[in-house]
Amino acid sequence: MDFLHRESTALLVVDMQERLLGAFAEERRAGVVRYASICVDVALTMGIPIVITEQYPKGLGPTIREITDKVGAGVIPIEKIVFSCGRSPEFKAALAATGRRNLLICGVETHVCVLQTALDLGREGYRIHVPADAVMSRRDLDWRIGLDLMKESGATVGTTEIFAFQLLERAGTDEFKAISKLIR
């Protein structure tokens, strides 16, 4: 298992869009929004670059406000029509610009865009980390199988809390206090 370090990690927020999430049962929507938002807060607190994608925003709407309000105007979502972010030249350029090789990936749907992205980028030598509570599919079976396939391909599957504390590395700092409050 690869260990996440802030200096080598980027956060990828995949397709957290209004209409797409509107198709989810409320409990599923609330869970993925909560944990993806925590991932964003962790990245912002620790100075980790964030790349956001939107799948066909004309049809699926923009990224949800719970995410865009946090990142502000400094992070502009990358529009795509391919399922895998790894097949979008604009995304690939933005990712390369971060200089990071460890990716923490959150978003939807686990078994489509998140899975295809993890597989493509993993084959390119990126180390993939997926918090199971910060990715979701409309159906539980798709979510579980998507996670299994990512794990079989070499991705590290954990939780938001596991990865947050890996990135923190130690207690007693202002970052630790801020992030601990988010996770409680």
| Contact present, 46 and 57 (Cβ < 8 Å) | no
Spatial neighbors of 57 by CB under 8 A, at least 6 apart, are 17, 77, 79
**Vertex 30: Cα angle to 169 and 81 (nearest 5):** 90
Name the average pLDDT for the chain. Answer: 95
80 catalytic per annotation? yes
The span from the CA of 72 to the CA of 38, in Å, is 15
39 catalytic per annotation? no
The span from the CA of 180 to the CA of 184, in Å, is 6
| Contact present, 114 and 130 (Cβ < 8 Å) | yes
Q: Which of 41, 113, 120, 133 is catalytic?
A: 113
Q: Which of 39, 41, 80, 133 is catalytic?
A: 80
Q: Per the structure block, which two tokens stand in for 53?
A: 């994608």
Residue 1: which pLDDT band, with cuts at 50, 70 and 90?
A: low
Q: Which of 15, 41, 120, 133 is catalytic?
A: 15
- pLDDT tens-digit map of 26-71: 999 999 999 999 999 999 999 999 999 999 999 999 999 999 999 9
- pLDDT tens-digit map of 129-158: 999 999 999 999 999 999 999 999 999 999
Q: What is the mean pLDDT of residues 112-117?
A: 98
Look at residue 2 and tell me whether its pLDDT is greater than 80. Answer: no
